[in-house]
Amino acid sequence: MTTAELDTPRELGQVYSTADKAFRRTTAGIGMTVLALTGAIGLFLGYQAIPTLRRYGLSFFTENQWLPQRDVVGLSSVLLGTVEVALVALVVGFPLALMTALYISEYAPRRLKSWFVGLIDLMAAVPSIIYGLWGFFFLQPQTIHVSRWLAQHFGWIPVFHVDTDPNAATWAQTKFTASAFIAGLAVSMMVIPLACAVMRSVFAQAPLGEREAALALGATRWGMIRTVVIPFGQGGIIGGTMLALGRALGETVAVLLIISPAFDIKVNILQVGTETTSALIAGLFGEASKAQLSALLTAGFVLFVLTLAVNTVAAVFVNRSRSGAATEI
Amino acid sequence: MSTIDFLEDSLAHSAPESSAVGVDAVAVSAWFGSNKVLERVNLSMPPRTVTALIGPSGCGKSTFLRILNRMHESVPAAKMAGEVRLNGQDIYAPSVRITHMRKRIGMVFQKPNPFPAMSIAENVTAGLKLTGTKVSRSERSDIIEGCLRRGGLWNEVKDRLDEPGQALSGGQQQRLCIARSLAVNPDVLLMDEPCSALDPTSTRRIEETIAELAPDVTIVIVTHNMQQAARVSQQCAFFLAEQGSPGGIVEAGTTKQLFEDPHDSRTADYVNGRFG
């Protein structure tokens, strides 16, 4: 019986040329290397974390003090601080990034567009130590007045509460410095260009046909943006924001420069002192003993898992959306 | 009547009984950058008439159509000269609000472009929302049914108004787009090769829709299909761009005259399929 007579699905194959085969294998190999490296980092950190996790168990996540000399080590206050700084960065950075992206893609005059894009990209190119210095020497002396104002008017909300009288004539300025809020502001400057670039590239791909349809119905430009550009760009908005969150969670140097370490469980972001995971590692790494090193690597492992999770969630959101195919994340 | 009055007097939603609004293009020229694509085109598109713009590719007929509702200027480096008069008022006058003007001059595009995030019903009423026109719930469902009926789509979608507009076939999507542009109650409807992406059956449905709309709405349609022009239009304008020179109207008149007794030999060649 020939294949033509068999009414079953056929095995379909084809012959690849040698060059094609070689190219496939090379690219596949390189791709695998990248995956393997990421996996290796995770494995290494995970392996290093085993002794610490075995020793402290669940208390590693519930204990808030970090006193290896007294054999008390825990991440709860540090993780809280990490999340607080990242959230401040997002709350401040998200609207700025979204508005900037909309302005550049929809409103900016054509001639200025590439200038703005270049400037935003330049923001991303500034080393984070510069943002740290800027945050410490410039932003902080200005921001404590904003912090005080917030504490004066919204102090009844726990987040904005500060353990001092903000209305006092000689108010305790140092109570308002080195806070999660100020660190978050500096970090927001670093995540804005990242989020903005993703959002902008997605907005620019909103289909011309739908844009024209909205305009031809008599829509204002803002109406068109609301009906066409933003729904289309949803994936990019979420993806860019999550990407920014991932970056904010891991930001180290700028935070290290601004905050003064404190290991209390507290939500008052305006008050002096906080600690983030990456700043903890960077701050203590140099003088750590072997056991302390293992604890720090465990903290690193937790941070790794956290950022991986955030980025994975971002990727899922973006891939499900219509604009996702074109969004690089 | 002042310009603003004339632009704002059409907020009612019942089908216009006596809308007698024609469009007159006076000495319209167009450029893309320094490249002139239209040369002083004069054309009167009378009310309650279907005017077909025909001609080979690149003759400027789509550009001309897009000048009639100021979509042309959204293209970078696009420029125009001349006047387009809606009921005698120049739509390019500085006092005209472009959003009001576009509400009165609707447009249907070559490629069906329903809003993908919206249901069929939401697509129909999208224009009301976009122009900030408030309607009650009962009015809204009347408008949805009325416009879908006028667009010739009601019977096919009446049981699934909440499904996404993109779930429809290409021809249905195009009729949805027609219904969508009717919801803001335009006086003029511009159609840019509305059937070129559609199969013959869908094309016939849209041509029927055009015939049903003609008594209420002034229609201007660009088409590459000569038979279609002959079938749907009462008036016809033949555009041509000679090698290296901008496009313009060679001949305009009643469709019957243009097809049966063209005055210009180039028109005769084109309508008889000898070129283009």
Chain A residue numbers with beta carbons less than 8 Å from the beta carbon of B76 are: 110
Split at pLDDT 50, 70, 90, the class of B11 is: very low
pLDDT for residue A36? 95
CB-CB neighbors (< 8 A) of A210 in chain B: 113, 115-116
In DSSP terms, B44 is beta-bridged to: B24
Average pLDDT score, chain A:
89
What is the pLDDT, as a whole number, of residue A1? 58
What 3-state DSSP class applies to A269?
coil
Maximum Cα interatomic distance, chain A, rounded to a whole number of Å: 101
* Distance of residue B71 Cα from the nearest chain A Cα, in angstroms: 7
Contact between chains at B102 and A218 (C-beta distance less than 8 A): yes
Taking the complete model, does pTM exceed 0.80, yes or no? yes
Give φ, ψ of B170 to 5 degrees: -55, -45
Q: Do A215 and B102 touch (CB under 8 A)?
A: yes
The alpha helices in chain A, defined as continuous H runs, are 18-56, 59-62, 76-102, 110-125, 128-134, 140-154, 180-203, 208-216, 221-224, 230-250, 253-258, 277-284, 290-320
Confidence check: pLDDT of A172 > 80: yes
Confidence grade of residue B81 (pLDDT, cut at 50, 70, 90): very high
DSSP string, A48-98: HHHHHHHHHTTHHHH---EEGGGTEE--HHHHHHHHHHHHHHHHHHHHHHH
Residues A79, A302 contacting (CB under 8 angstroms): yes
Every domain of chain A and the residues it spans: 78-326
- Whole-number average pLDDT of chain B: 88
Q: Which two tokens stand for residue B78?
A: 């696009």
Fold topology of A78-326: MetI-like fold (1.10.3720)
Q: Is the pLDDT of residue B54 over 80?
A: yes
Residues B105 and B234: their CA atoms lie apart, in Å, by 19
A30 or B8, which is more confident = A30
Question: Token pair of A58, please?
Answer: 């669940």
Per residue in A224-271, pLDDT (tens digit) is 999 999 999 988 898 889 989 999 998 888 899 998 888 888 888 888
Residue B249: partners with Cβ closer than 8 Å, 6 or more residues away = B41, B42, B43, B237, B238, B239
Answer whether B113 sits within 8 Å of A213, measured CB to CB. yes
Question: Cα distance from A178 to chain B (closest Cα, Å)?
Answer: 45
pLDDT in tens, A7-65: 888 888 888 899 999 999 999 999 999 999 999 999 999 999 998 888 888 888 888 88
pLDDT at residue number B68: 94
> How far are the Cα atoms of B136, B188, B218 from residue B143, in angstroms, in the given order?
10, 18, 20
| Mean pLDDT along residues A63-85 | 89
Q: Is B131 on the interface with A (CB under 8 A)?
A: yes
Of chain A residues 214-233, which have a CB less than 8 A from chain B? Answer: 214-220, 223-224, 227-228, 231-232
B248 touches chain A (CB under 8 A): no
CA distance A202 to chain B (A): 16
Please tell me which of the candidates A110, A216, A227 has its beta carbon nearest to residue B115.
A227
CA B43 to chain centre: 15
With tokens 């969004």, the residue in question is A327
Cβ–Cβ below 8 Å for A223 and B130:
yes
Residues B224-252 pLDDT 10s: 888 899 999 999 999 999 888 899 999 99
Cβ of A212 within 8 Å of Cβ of B177? The answer is no
pLDDT in tens, B18-33: 456 889 999 999 999 9
Question: Which amino acid, B63?
Answer: T
Q: Which of B71, B106, B115 has its CB closest to that of A228? A: B115
Rounded to the nearest 10 degrees, the angle between the axes of helix A277-284 and helix A290-320 is 150
Per-residue model confidence (pLDDT) at position B230: 92
Burial of A170 (0-12, 13-18, 19+ CB in 10 A): exposed
Q: Is the model's pLDDT at B17 over the cut of 50?
A: no
Q: What is the pLDDT of residues B180-203, one digit of tens each?
A: 999 999 999 999 999 988 888 889
pLDDT over 60 (residue B154):
yes
Instruction: Please give the domain boundaries of chain B with CATH numbers for all domains.
Output: 22-271 (3.40.50.300)
Tokens 């929302």 sit at which residue?
Answer: B129
B218: which residues sit within 8 A by CB, 6+ positions away?
A: B21, B22, B23, B45, B46, B47, B48, B49, B51, B187, B188, B189
Q: Is A31 on the interface with B (CB under 8 A)?
A: no
Name the residue among B69, B113, B127 with its Cβ closest to that of A209. B113
The Cα of B141 is separated from the nearest Cα of chain A by a number of Å equal to: 19
Q: How many CA atoms lie within 13 A of B198 on its CB side?
A: 27
